[in-house]
């Protein structure tokens, strides 16, 4: 049996959820530097949280020797700082495992279209 949320808690939770989705949508505009696929569809975004006006992003990479790590972090920051209500972006590299299974169906289609996967 799930816990019953009060009206206030429900509102707060819904607002956080909406903010999370807005950030995820914004990150869909941030492309991997090598392929025309977003970081979200590539499966690199592993968590989105907020602490006031700070967005906390958990990120992994396709490989530990990824040469574009700095570039990806810069692009994430640059895009999110444009968003209303976000003054700071904190990125934690979590080094969770990544494989092709983490690519979304849309991402796979986009990669197939350019001859990858």
Partner 1 sequence: MSERPEGTDQVAPGRGAETEFLVENDDALAALVNMIAVIGDNVYFLGRRVSEWADAGPLLESTAACAAITQDKLGQSRAIYPLLEELPWPNPPTGLQGEVDRARRYSVSFLDDPLPSWASVVAALALVGPAVNVVLESVENSRYEALARRAHRILDEERLTSAYAESLVRQICYEERGRRLFQERVDALLPEMLCWFGPDGEEGIEALKAEGLASMGNEEMRQRYLDRIVPLLKESGIEVPVERNEERWEYGELPWSEWNQLQRRLERSGRQ
Question: In this structure, what token pair is assigned to residue 56?
Answer: 């906390």
What is the closest distance, in whole angstroms, from the C-beta atom of residue 72 to partner 1 in the complex? 9
Nearer to partner 1, 13 or 92 (CB): 92
Contacts with 32 (C-beta within 8 Å, 6 or more apart), sequence order: 38, 39, 42, 44, 68, 72
What is the closest distance, in whole angstroms, from the C-beta atom of residue 114 to partner 1 in the complex? 21
For partner 1, the binding residues (CB under 8 A) are: 63-67, 69-70, 73-74, 77, 90-97
Cα torsion angle, 65, 97, 91, 30, sign: positive
Phi, psi of 55 (to 5 degrees): -95, 130
What is the closest distance, in whole angstroms, from the C-beta atom of residue 91 to partner 1 in the complex? 5
What is the closest distance, in whole angstroms, from the C-beta atom of residue 73 to partner 1 in the complex? 4
Question: In this structure, what token pair is assigned to residue 58?
Answer: 């958990």
Nearer to partner 1, 77 or 110 (CB): 77
Nearer to partner 1, 92 or 113 (CB): 92
């Amino acid at each position: 049996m799930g816990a019953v949320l009060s009206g206030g808690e429900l509102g707060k939770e819904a607002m956080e959820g909406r903010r999370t989705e807005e950030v995820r949508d914004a990150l869909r505009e941030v492309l991997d530097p090598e392929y025309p696929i977003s970081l979200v569809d590539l499966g690199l975004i592993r968590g989105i949280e907020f602490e006031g006006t700070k967005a906390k992003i958990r990120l992994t990479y396709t490989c530990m020797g990824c040469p574009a790590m700095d570039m990806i972090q810069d692009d994430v920051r640059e895009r999110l700082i444009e968003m209303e209500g976000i003054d700071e972006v904190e990125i934690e590299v979590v080094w969770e495992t990544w494989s092709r299974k983490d690519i979304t169906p849309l991402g796979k289609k986009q990669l197939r279209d350019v001859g990858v996967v």
